[in-house]
Amino acid sequence: MPNPVRRRFLICALAAALAAALAVLVAPSSPASAHGNVLSPGSRNYGCFERWGDRFQAPEMATQDPLCHQAWQADPQAMWNWNGLFREGVAGNHQAAIPDGQLCSAGKTQNGRYAAMDTVGDWKSTTIANSFTLQLFDGARHGADYIRVYVTRPSYNPVTQPLKWSDLELVSQVGNTPAAQWTRQLSNGVQMDIPVSVPGRSGRAMVYTIWQASHLDQSYYFCSDVNFGGVTPPTSSPTSTPSSTPPSSTSPAPAGACRAAVSVSSQWSGAYQATVTVTAGSAAVRGWAVTLTYGTGQTVQQSWGATVAAGGNRIEASNAAYNGALSAGASTSFGFIASGTPSTPSVTCAAV
């Protein structure tokens, strides 16, 4: 018969080994040595971590968030390690390294850890406006050789179709940017805020981000499910409900010319977001130019859907390449964010 002391020692050792194994299965990896991810609009695995990380075994996840549920069941570490979805040695040839249908898992990187991210279905989506800010977190301060942001074409449906390279359109790009130039501090890391504009889109889509880190040939890939149609103010400024919104201002529309109407969609301390709708008159126009004249000076911080410039108390805009030609009575719109007072401007619209 074995020595009782030795037997107790063996039992305790086995128990300790089992507890350690269980901890590996269910405990989150520390983000102290984190790499990074897209926090807004949140990527698939970061979103699953954010919503369910503190209750990843909750049975209601299966019905409330079934795509996250299948991902947690497939590999919990894909969510705990939300900062590690990368490949090495791609040498910039992303399409060769990652097959169609595997873009969200980076070609089933990390021995397939993130394979569930490629599952086609109705993932929880973030409602965003046509102009939004993508927030990329760099937990290890790698910096970037470049960052590329894509949005899927209108013909693509993320609920029913696997994602292919041909589904993507490049909508924003950032060049070489050392971590010291990233603008926001988050915990021990840094954050890059990237303005993105996708005029005229509505409904479901995918935002796909490639982050080429600078410390090694290490490429990160993120799928973010979005729903175009919400109106979201800039993430860098606090929002408030104005006590009185300035009335919209509209220019007249002579025959064969155009008219413009401007309205303030949101405002906060010292700045505001405005939308300008341009409508052709009784005949088609090939292009247009809008001038807004305010009572005080204005400074444009960001714009979309037009080439916009400010000088003194005037904001001048001309059509983009894709929205200048309007048939009789047809409309298009552009928007901008400006510092200043959103008082009611005088508005002129000229067909060119």
Q: How confident is the model at residue 235 (pLDDT cuts 50, 70, 90)?
A: very low
* Beta strand residue intervals within 85-143, DSSP E: 86-88, 126-128, 131-138
Helix (H) or strand (E) holding 274: strand 271-280
Phi and psi, residue 267, nearest 5°: -150, 155
Q: Summarize the confidence of residues 301-322 as an average pLDDT.
A: 84
Q: How confident is the model at residue 34 (pLDDT cuts 50, 70, 90)?
A: low
Place of tokens 């209601």: 60
Q: How confident is the model at residue 9 (pLDDT cuts 50, 70, 90)?
A: very low
Helix (H) or strand (E) holding 228: strand 218-228
Instruction: Give the per-residue pLDDT at 240.
Output: 35
Instruction: Give the per-residue pLDDT at 185.
Output: 55
Predicted confidence (pLDDT) at residue 112 exceeds the cutoff of 60: yes
The residue with greater pLDDT, 147 or 237, is: 147
Residue 340 vs residues 36, 211, 232, 301, 318: alpha-carbon distances, Å: 35, 34, 19, 11, 21
Predicted confidence (pLDDT) at residue 152 exceeds the cutoff of 60: yes
The residue with greater pLDDT, 10 or 187, is: 187
The residue with greater pLDDT, 271 or 41, is: 41
Instruction: Give the per-residue pLDDT at 233.
Output: 37
**Could you read off the pLDDT of 294-306 as tens digits, one per residue?**
988 888 887 877 8
- Fold that domain 31-228 belongs to in CATH: Coagulation Factor XIII; Chain A, domain 1 (2.70.50)
Predicted confidence (pLDDT) at residue 324 exceeds the cutoff of 90: no
**Average pLDDT over the chain, rounded to an integer:** 81
Can you give the residue ranges of every domain in the chain? 31-228, 249-351
User: What does CATH list as the number for 249-351?
Assistant: 2.60.40.290
